[in-house]
Structure 1
Amino acid sequence: MALAPTEAVEDTDEPPHPYRWTMLFGVWLMYFSFALTIASLAPLVFLIEKDLGIDHALMGTILGAWPVIYIASSAPCGALLDRFGPRRMLFVSITIIAFSGVLRAVSDSYVEVLLAIFVFGIGGPLISSGAPKIVSLWFKGKDRGLGIGIYFTGNALGGIAAVSLTNSHVMPLFDHDWRQVLMAYAAFVFCAGLIWLLISAHPASKAVEKTLAAEEKTPISQVFFELLSIPLVRIVLVIGIFILFFNHGLTHWLPTILQEKGMDEVSAGYWASIPTIFGLVTAPFIPRLATPERRYLILLLLFLAAAVATLFIQFGDGLILGMGLLMQGVCRGSMTGIAILMLMDTENGKHVGAASGLYFSAGEIGGALGPMTVGGLAQSTGSFSAPLYMMTGVACLLIMLLARLRFVARRDA
């Protein structure tokens, strides 16, 4: 039997351990639950606003609250993963996320919901950083891109389930009580955590944890200093800010944008699931195609598609609108996946958890500002036209940052 995978066998000819696919399924399930929890509020915006007596601007602060905590917690969480291993830390994460769902369901005011969302921001980073850590431990070479792409389909499917099924199927099951719906989602998330515990109890998984525990530990501050001293890492972190600004700002408000275009709640939910469906289809393949020599071209095409998508969503109907949503879905997961691949290759993957944590600490600055900015602009202007113009500009800015990244990569090669 093949040896249990470790970072130390990265450059050996040892065949990959077959249990890697089961571990990847466990990570996929974590990401599905993660995305389900994030996206579950979007279809319920109008109901929550009415129940709590808040407007779009305050709802925007709710939708953008958890990334605020991400900013502070992602980097330390990534370092904790490198130090203690992903098995226990991922279970801790999913338990915190489930608890956040319970708190949302029992909240009776704007402040209580806001605090519940903050709790999610404590647990979420362990999954965002833990998933790349698992892939780096169990997969090698081009298969790392495939692994990242596959677990991002969990992210897509979790969003699909929340956006397309909440109003059409789940709400009727619970007498259209949004609180009971969120409680049911929280129960599902906790069950997913128990499944992860069973999967990661395999002897091969425990062998990996034992190897990690025996490795010499570099002080966390030194790890961050080493990573931030690399110019390419710094530019990727800035790119991450605007990728997550674009993704979170557009994704959280998409059902509401479509309802403003004249759709009812159910139709908006189905149409808003188009990006997640096409993100699901393309996520396993685009990061795998993004080998080092092709990454810049693929990112350029993705950023161009993101810009066009915002224009199609704003001005299009029918087929044109559908094409805009399709392009948004292709871009959504692949942009982040390729950025993480770039960080995964730094220092030979030595500090994947810390690097991923830094990415989400920086990126969630944009993740927090995106929904809040969209909500605030929509409230002040009376429509979503200005926010969509802004998103077009963000995509253009990403193209300029990519040009700078390519220049630095060539200079330092």
Structure 2
Amino acid sequence: MTQALSPSGPSKTAQVRWLILFGVWLIYFCFGLTIASMAPLVSPISAELGISNGLMGAILGAWPLTYILAAIPCGILLDRLGSRHMLLLAALVMAASGLARSCAETPMQLLLAVALFGIGGPMISVGAPKIIARLFHGKTRATAMGIYVTGPYLGGILSLSLTNSVVMPMVGDDWRSVMLVYAVLVALSGVVWFAIASLPAARKQSGGEEGSAKFNLSAFLEIVRLPEVQLILAMSIGIFFINHGLNNWLPEILRGHGFSAVQAGYWAAIPSSVGIIGALVIPRLAVPERRLTVMAALFVFSMAASLLLQVSAGPLLVVGLILQGMARGAMMTVAILLLMETPRIPEERLGLAGGLFFTFAEIGGVMGPITFGVLSDLSGDFVLPLAALTVVCAVLLTILARLRALLRWMGG
């Protein structure tokens, strides 16, 4: 059994956890880079391939659908094989997805290329929480989770703000070349991670991780039958509906307010920038005794943002983007903390629990982009999609109230 690292001390074994955290962060950065890479390019891609908003929504939602099928198997493999090879494979698969997008000649080819990302995605988003849970404990765990979650937000900021202003001009305004550039960056992140994870101190730290857990159906049922887990999984669907819907369509929402492609990219980066602060600060504030209250505040922020994003350019729109960033940056992290610290989930099943979380969450990840695309086609703008977000936030607050009541009852 792997010996937990001491949260303090000068030994190399204790210090290498921060280097491992950087490796995880780097791959997660490229994870976010790839997720956001198509949002600034929706217009040129749609124009070249003849794609409507509804069909583009299906394409943008293709990888979460694959993710749903892959998340639990990835959690099982992680428990059995360990993180070193899994995260390398994650980077290579995500890079292959970017390469395939650059070669797509039809909407179906593009959909399949995006869907491929969903096989690699859970290898990192399922593996990262388990690595953090194993390496960090107490307050440092929340800090570490906040740090690694900044990775995809920084990746998203880079993609949203620089794709149309820097990368597109650099490659001759060819969206295919943009996809290729990002694919190379993702592959390089995998090489860096594998070099870090192969260091003797890192290998020693991982100890008996690989092959230490065996999956069986009873272990899965033991987790999924817990009522508190069921409520957290239900919340995860709504959280990802909101995040994926806005992640993929925010630049187009802003263009609907009269922004140019470059301006929309810069403004769409505001939530990601704020999200970094939220990811670092809010999880530390969400100590167990007030975690549910913090989550309720995040849902309220998200609801307010869904209303304010309907406002044309001005101070209220800025407030909406800031509130959306605060909610986006912390909702998932707090939800994962709730799941990972559920007393009735054994530590050796955290990988499986993570796979379960993201399997359910990505149901919302599929529904969000598709709902936005279909409703925008129906209404001719983004009023209906944003109204759908308001309804989802109200449902999330109801689920959270039920979770609070259940935990109080369990606590006697």
Structure 2 length-normalised TM = 0.96
* Among 55, 58, 64, the residue aligned to 1:58: 55
Letter in 2 for 1:390: A
Question: Are 1:79 and 1:220, in contact at CA under 8 Å, matched by a contact in 2?
Answer: no
Residue in 1 aligned with 2:323? 327
The verdict on how the C-alpha distance between 1:410 and 1:8 changes in structure 2, with shifts beyond 3 A counting, is farther
Q: Distance in 1 between matches of 2:172 and 2:313?
A: 33
Q: Which digits, 9 at most, give the CA deviation of each residue in 1:356-395, with x for residues without a partner?
A: 1111100100100100011000001111001111101111
Residue in 2 aligned with 1:235? 231
Letter in 1 for 2:364: G
* Among 273, 279, 282, the residue aligned to 1:277: 273
Q: Which digits, 9 at most, give the CA deviation of each residue in 1:17-36, with x for residues without a partner?
A: 11111111111101100010
Matches within 5 A, 1:42-53: 42-53=39-50
The verdict on how the C-alpha distance between 1:279 and 1:36 changes in structure 2, with shifts beyond 3 A counting, is same
Residue in 2 aligned with 1:144? 141
- The aligned length equals 406
Residue in 1 aligned with 2:361? 363
Q: Distance in 1 between matches of 2:405 and 2:3?
A: 32
The offset of 1:348, in angstroms, is 4.8
Residue in 2 aligned with 1:198? 195
The verdict on how the C-alpha distance between 1:348 and 1:224 changes in structure 2, with shifts beyond 3 A counting, is closer
Letter in 2 for 1:9: A
Unaligned regions of 5+ residues in structure 2, if any?
A: none
Residue in 1 aligned with 2:383? 385
Residue in 1 aligned with 2:176? 179
Out of 222-231 and 48-57, give the one that drifted further.
222-231
Residue in 2 aligned with 1:311? 307
Q: Distance in 1 between matches of 2:209 and 2:223?
A: 20
The offset of 1:221, in angstroms, is 2.0
Give the match's secondary structure for 1:116.
helix
The offset of 1:98, in angstroms, is 0.2
The verdict on how the C-alpha distance between 1:55 and 1:403 changes in structure 2, with shifts beyond 3 A counting, is same
Residue in 2 aligned with 1:127? 124
Q: Distance in 2 between matches of 1:79 and 1:411?
A: 32
The offset of 1:207, in angstroms, is 2.1
Unaligned regions of 5+ residues in structure 1, if any?
A: 1-5
Letter in 2 for 1:38: I
Q: Distance in 2 between matches of 1:231 and 1:361?
A: 17
Q: Distance in 1 between matches of 2:201 and 2:280?
A: 25
Residue in 1 aligned with 2:208? 211
Q: Which digits, 9 at most, give the CA deviation of each residue in 1:49-82, with x for residues without a partner?
A: 0010111111110111100011111111012111
Q: Distance in 2 between matches of 1:7 and 1:403?
A: 37
* Among 4, 20, 23, the residue aligned to 1:9: 4
Q: Distance in 1 between matches of 2:372 and 2:58?
A: 10
Q: Which digits, 9 at most, give the CA deviation of each residue in 1:164-195, with x for residues without a partner?
A: 10000000000000001100100010011000
Letter in 1 for 2:163: T
Out of 116-125 and 12-21, give the one that drifted further.
12-21
Residue in 2 aligned with 1:292? 288
Question: Are 1:144 and 1:288, in contact at CA under 8 Å, matched by a contact in 2?
Answer: no
The offset of 1:111, in angstroms, is 0.4
Letter in 2 for 1:57: G
Residue in 2 aligned with 1:93? 90
Give the match's secondary structure for 2:237.
helix
Q: Distance in 2 between matches of 1:361 and 1:237?
A: 9
Letter in 1 for 2:102: A
The verdict on how the C-alpha distance between 1:14 and 1:38 changes in structure 2, with shifts beyond 3 A counting, is closer
Deviating runs (4+, > 3 A) in structure 1? 6-10, 12-16
Residue in 1 aligned with 2:99? 102
Question: Are 2:80 and 2:211, in contact at CA under 8 Å, matched by a contact in 1?
Answer: no
Give the match's secondary structure for 1:152.
helix
The verdict on how the C-alpha distance between 1:35 and 1:134 changes in structure 2, with shifts beyond 3 A counting, is same
Residue in 2 aligned with 1:3? none
Q: Distance in 2 between matches of 1:209 and 1:84?
A: 11
Residue in 2 aligned with 1:399? 397
Q: Distance in 1 between matches of 2:198 and 2:405?
A: 45
Q: Distance in 1 between matches of 2:36 and 2:70?
A: 21
Q: Sequence identity of aligned pairs in percent?
A: 45
The offset of 1:316, in angstroms, is 4.8
The offset of 1:13, in angstroms, is 8.2
Question: Are 2:2 and 2:206, in contact at CA under 8 Å, matched by a contact in 1?
Answer: no
Matches within 5 A, 1:247-262: 247-262=243-258
Q: Which digits, 9 at most, give the CA deviation of each residue in 1:239-274, with x for residues without a partner?
A: 000100011011210000000111110000000000
CA RMSD of the aligned region, Å? Answer: 1.5
Question: Are 1:98 and 1:186, in contact at CA under 8 Å, matched by a contact in 2?
Answer: yes
